[in-house]
């Protein structure tokens, strides 16, 4: 079912106005007439969360080895550029993309990437006043700390864009200085840690073309709602979809279909709308919404002696919302067919998808809620060997337990991660993993179900697919999970490429594969050899120095490879990320390399050789521009002429 935004908004308009006054009926209204023709029929954006250039290479080398490649050094595989080994590395175009957001000073004069331009005196989205005297200044201000840190007696005298300086961070992610080489003039290995972005503000930029602050979900620095490419697609009469391996109301899916000032506003008791999930379900209403966040998927301790039912935690969906959907899986206030984790989950999902008609204005949409027990809300996590052997273990216990002061830290610098699954009575580790794989689809299968539904829409569709647990693995400094999650994402991308080849080809489809941000992760030259002789499992959990493990997190391992410097950074960086793309409208993105853009009415300079996430949004918007639908002989002639112009642009 396509969303009828006008119909769905009328009963709740007063609630929206009460919350913040930032949403309007007209801005996301679905047209009541037949859909229009756009430059590109189908637009597909696939985001490997946190999947920087080095993370991509780590998985690409593993996959090449899995396919029989040999070689002991990075030079035997690749050391620069687009690379080979993964599905998206076969796409026609490659570039590097800056990911920076905004930085704003409160009254104390210390700039922070977490601040909006409002005072924050009211927690409701858009309800606080603007900071007195604030005006947006589009100059670069990276600061000196992870969250900003620049100070000035006049809090508004320094710029409000973090920016990126290739002299300090390298013009390419494979700059030799990150691998222990001699730094160039001005290079600083710590620079990319300063004012790093998060998944909320980067996703907001990817969908809207507007820079914002960390935590911003589909809002600008003034906490005003922005129109996403999902909303634009819906206005054009297209079906829309959001698919993710992590909770459906996490930052990356949320920024496409919600407008809230803080990313942790996951859900609230009905009828509250100042949260992500309720806006997804009641305002933007993507035709397909599939991912994690099931209450049974969070890591909770079992009572002594065990129990027969999984413990539940309502972090990503309130008990009110969940109980209502469970009791009303078909005829509910949201207009969705609700399906969740359970026996033979993949087949149940595909069967449900087959019944959804995206062109029926009175039919249901599809909502799937999954997640493996013990895993913080995401799908079963894969491992480098493809066995899912880490399924059910806490996703955030490796890096944290290696830090001094952590209660689990026995030897400083050596982790003591979670090894206990939440086994029910009578379960073994093997049967637990088998159950979770049976009761949860993989990301590829979610993608398959989404395309099955969306591909039947006559006007086409917009779809976002996220491999979200790539980022979670990187936060945890977990190489094994990182490779496994990336390989799962690879399978999903390959499925999309195959689908495109069988459904209109590259003349009707645009595919963009990118990351929202980077992590500080570095491979050593013997990484390929160690993968083959030791394996990613031991490289992750048993070998605790960069020299022994063939990789490290943070900057220290480049200069102290034999010390306990492997687990030195569990967060993002401001380094550019790769983008791979192909299809109808891809020439727009290629034309924007090195170009500037406009933000808040101000000109922002481009960086030679680099794209920005703003350009990815512009490319989607261009692909979604309307081509007049022919209804007369004159219209047919004009339509033909427009197609000729588009063809010449290719």
For the annotated binding site for Mg(2+), the residues are 250, 252, 466
Alpha helix (H) ranges present in 209-255? 229-235, 251-254
* Pairwise CA distance, residues 88 & 511, whole Å: 9
β strands within 446-550, DSSP E: 461-467, 509-514, 518-519, 521-523
List, as residue ranges, the binding site for Zn(2+). Answer: 471, 475, 516-517
* Pairwise CA distance, residues 487 & 467, whole Å: 10
* Pairwise CA distance, residues 195 & 101, whole Å: 8
Residues whose CB falls within 8 Å of the CB of residue 56, separated by 6 or more in sequence, listed in order: 48, 83, 86, 89, 486, 578
Cα angle, residue 493 at apex, residues 233 and 456 outer, rounded to 5°: 45
From edge to edge, which strands make up the β-sheet containing 239-247? 336-340, 365-369, 288-292, 239-247, 461-467, 42-48, 509-514, 577-583, 93-98, 611-612
DSSP for 8-71, please give it: HHGGGHHHHHHHTS---TGGGPPPSSPPPEESSSEEEEEEETT--HHHHHHHHHHHHHHTT---
Extract the tokens encoding 478.
Answer: 């977990």
* Pairwise CA distance, residues 513 & 479, whole Å: 21
Q: Active site includes 199? A: yes
Q: How far is CA 121 from CA 117, 118, 617, in A?
A: 12, 8, 32
List, as residue ranges, the binding site. Answer: 250, 252, 466, 471, 475, 516-517
Q: Smallest Cα–Cα separation from 438: which of 383, 396, 472, 388?
A: 388
Q: Smallest Cα–Cα separation from 250: which of 567, 469, 463?
A: 469
Catalytic one of 87, 116, 128, 199? 199
Find the helix or strand (DSSP H, E) in which 351 lies. helix 345-354
| Chain centre to alpha carbon of residue 310 | 28
* Number of other CB atoms surrounding residue 437 within 10 Å: 17
Three-state SS at 572 = strand
Just list the catalytic residues: 199
């Amino acid at each position: 079912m396509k969303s009828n935004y006008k119909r769905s908004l009328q009963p709740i308009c007063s609630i929206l106005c009460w919350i913040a006054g930032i949403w309007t009926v007209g801005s996301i209204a679905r047209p009541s007439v037949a859909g229009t023709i756009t430059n590109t029929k189908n637009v597909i954006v696939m985001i490997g969360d946190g999947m920087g250039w080095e993370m991509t290479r780590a998985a690409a080398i593993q996959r090449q080895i899995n396919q029989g490649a040999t070689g002991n050094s990075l030079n035997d595989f690749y050391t620069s550029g687009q690379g080979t080994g993964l599905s998206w590395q076969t796409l026609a175009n490659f570039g590097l993309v800056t990911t920076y957001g905004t930085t704003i000073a409160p009254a104390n004069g210390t700039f922070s990437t977490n601040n909006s331009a409002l005072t924050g005196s009211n927690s409701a989205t858009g309800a606080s006043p603007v900071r007195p005297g604030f005006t947006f200044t589009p100059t670069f201000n990276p600061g000196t700390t992870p969250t900003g840190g620049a100070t000035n007696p006049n809090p508004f005298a320094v710029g409000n864009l973090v920016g990126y300086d290739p002299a300090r961070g390298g013009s390419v992610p494979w700059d030799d200085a990150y691998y222990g080489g001699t730094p160039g003039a001005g290079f600083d290995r710590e620079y990319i840690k300063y004012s790093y972005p998060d998944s909320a503000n980067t996703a907001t930029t990817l969908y809207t073309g507007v820079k914002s602050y960390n935590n911003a979900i589909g809002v600008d620095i003034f906490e005003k709602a922005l129109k996403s490419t999902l909303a634009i697609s819906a206005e054009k009469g297209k079906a829309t979809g959001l698919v993710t391996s992590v909770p459906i109301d996490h930052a990356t899916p949320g920024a496409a279909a919600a407008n809230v000032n803080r990313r942790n506003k996951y859900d609230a008791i009905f009828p509250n709308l100042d949260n992500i999930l309720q806006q997804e379900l009641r305002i933007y209403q993507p035709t397909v919404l599939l991912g994690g966040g099931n209450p049974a998927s969070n890591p909770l301790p079992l009572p002594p002696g065990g129990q027969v039912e999984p413990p539940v935690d309502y972090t990503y969906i309130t008990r009110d919302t969940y109980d209502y959907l469970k009791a009303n899986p078909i005829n509910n206030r949201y207009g969705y067919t609700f399906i969740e984790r359970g026996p033979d989950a993949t087949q149940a999902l595909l069967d449900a998808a087959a019944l959804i008609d995206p062109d029926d204005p009175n039919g249901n949409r599809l909502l799937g809620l999954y997640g493996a027990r013990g895993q913080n809300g995401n799908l079963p996590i894969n491992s480098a060997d493809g066995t899912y052997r880490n399924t059910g273990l806490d996703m955030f216990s490796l890096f944290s337990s290696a830090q001094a002061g952590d209660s689990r830290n026995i030897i400083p610098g050596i982790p003591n991660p979670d090894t206990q699954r939440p086994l029910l009575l009578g379960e073994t580790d093997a049967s637990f993993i088998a159950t979770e794989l049976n009761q949860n689809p993989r990301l590829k299968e979610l993608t398959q179900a989404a395309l099955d539904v969306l591909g039947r829409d006559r006007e086409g569709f917009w779809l976002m697919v996220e491999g979200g647990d790539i980022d979670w693995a990187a936060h945890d400094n977990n190489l094994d999970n990182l490779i496994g999650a990336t390989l799962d994402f690879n399978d999903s991308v390959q499925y999309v490429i195959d689908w495109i080849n069988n459904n209109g080809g590259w003349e009707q489809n645009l595919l963009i594969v990118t990351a929202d941000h980077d992590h500080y992760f570095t491979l050593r030259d013997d990484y390929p050899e160690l993968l083959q002789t030791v394996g990613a499992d031991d490289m992750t959990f048993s070998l605790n120095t960069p020299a022994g493990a063939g990789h490290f997190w943070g900057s220290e391992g480049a200069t102290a490879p034999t010390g306990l410097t492997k687990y030195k950074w569990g967060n993002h960086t401001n380094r550019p990320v790769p983008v791979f793309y192909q299809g109808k409208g891809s020439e727009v993105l290629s034309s924007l390399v090195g170009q500037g853009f406009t933000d808040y009415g101000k000109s922002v300079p481009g960086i030679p050789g680099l794209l920005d996430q703003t350009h990815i949004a512009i490319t989607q918007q261009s692909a979604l521009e309307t081509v007049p639908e022919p209804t007369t002989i004159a219209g047919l002639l004009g339509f033909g002429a427009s197609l000729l112009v588009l063809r010449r642009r290719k």
